Amino acid sequence: MATENSREQFRIDQRQRRMQFWAHLEEFRKRLFRVIIGLVVTFCISLAFTEQTMTLLLSYVSAVQPVALHPTETIVVYFRVAMILGIVLVMPYLLYQLLAFFLPGLTRSESRFLLVSVSGIGFFFALGAAFAAFVMIPLAVGYLQGFMNDLVRPTYSIDGYISFVTALMFSSGIIFETPLLLALIARMGLVTAKQLSKGRRFALVVIAVLAGVVTPTPDAFNMLLVMAPLVLLYEVGIFLAWLAERARRKALSASVA
Other beta carbons less than 10 A from residue 211's beta carbon: 20
Cα 215 from Cα 218, distance rounded (Å): 7
> What are the beta bridge partners of residue 67?
157
The pLDDT, as a whole number, for residue 195 is 84
* 3-state SS, residue 156: coil
- Reported as a single tens digit per residue, the pLDDT across 150-162 is 677 777 888 888 8
Is the whole-model pTM more than 0.75? no
The pLDDT, as a whole number, for residue 198 is 85
Are 85 and 136 contacting, i.e. CB atoms less than 8 angstroms apart? no
- Nearest Cα residue to 61 out of 159, 169, 161: 161
Are 157 and 69 contacting, i.e. CB atoms less than 8 angstroms apart? yes
Which residues of the chain are modeled with pLDDT < 70?
1-24, 101-114, 148-150, 216-219, 251-257
The pLDDT, as a whole number, for residue 41 is 92
105 conformational bin, left if phi > 0, alpha if psi -120 to 50, beta if neither? left
Residue 159's contacts (CB-CB under 8 Å, 6 or more residues apart) are: 68, 69, 70, 73, 76, 77
Cα 131 from Cα 57, distance rounded (Å): 13
The pLDDT, as a whole number, for residue 23 is 67
Residue 61's contacts (CB-CB under 8 Å, 6 or more residues apart) are: 141, 145, 156, 161
Helix 73-102 vs helix 158-175: crossing angle, to nearest 10: 20
* 3-state SS, residue 63: coil
How far apart, in Å, are the Cα atoms of 137 and each of 51, 94, 95, 129, 242?
18, 28, 28, 10, 33
The pLDDT, as a whole number, for residue 240 is 83
How far apart, in Å, are the Cα atoms of 211 and each of 102, 204, 226?
34, 10, 6
The pLDDT, as a whole number, for residue 194 is 84
- Reported as a single tens digit per residue, the pLDDT across 103-130 is 666 666 666 666 777 777 778 888 888 8
One-letter identity of residue 48: A
Alpha helix (H) residue ranges in 176-219? 178-187, 193-198, 200-214
